[in-house]
């Protein structure tokens, strides 16, 4: 049986969740400065893309989630089929 590849995290989701806190931090730091708005916007975009890139690369390279994102791969590696009844003598 041919199964589709395991789902991968998306970069845009990491970007959405990184842009909001980065925006609050930059607003706190540069809120009362006389910096032009377009420079602040460029700093916000660059910082958001950088943080999202770090988050996305860590999610892709997370060794703990390699076999758990796809149930078939997880069951195949563990050698246990679905709904297998283990006898009482084999448990001990």
pLDDT band at 14 (very low <50, low <70, confident <90, very high): confident
Residues 85-92 have a mean pLDDT of 62
pLDDT band at 7 (very low <50, low <70, confident <90, very high): confident
Residue 60: predicted pLDDT: 80
Q: pLDDT tens digits for 37-56?
A: 899 899 999 999 999 999 88
Q: pLDDT tens digits for 66-86?
A: 555 566 666 666 665 567 676
Give, in order, the Cα–Cα distances in Å from 65 to each of 4, 16, 59, 88: 17, 22, 8, 31
| 18 Cβ contact list (under 8 Å, min separation 6) | 48, 51, 52, 55
């Amino acid at each position: 049986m041919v199964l589709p590849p395991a789902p991968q995290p998306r970069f845009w989701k990491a970007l959405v969740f990184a842009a909001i806190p980065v925006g609050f931090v930059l607003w706190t730091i540069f809120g009362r400065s006389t910096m032009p708005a377009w420079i602040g916007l460029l700093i916000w975009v660059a910082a958001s893309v950088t943080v999202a890139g770090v988050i996305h690369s860590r999610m892709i390279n997370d060794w703990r989630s390699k076999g758990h994102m796809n149930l078939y791969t997880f069951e195949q590696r563990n050698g246990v089929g679905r709904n297998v009844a283990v006898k009482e003598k084999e448990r001990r």
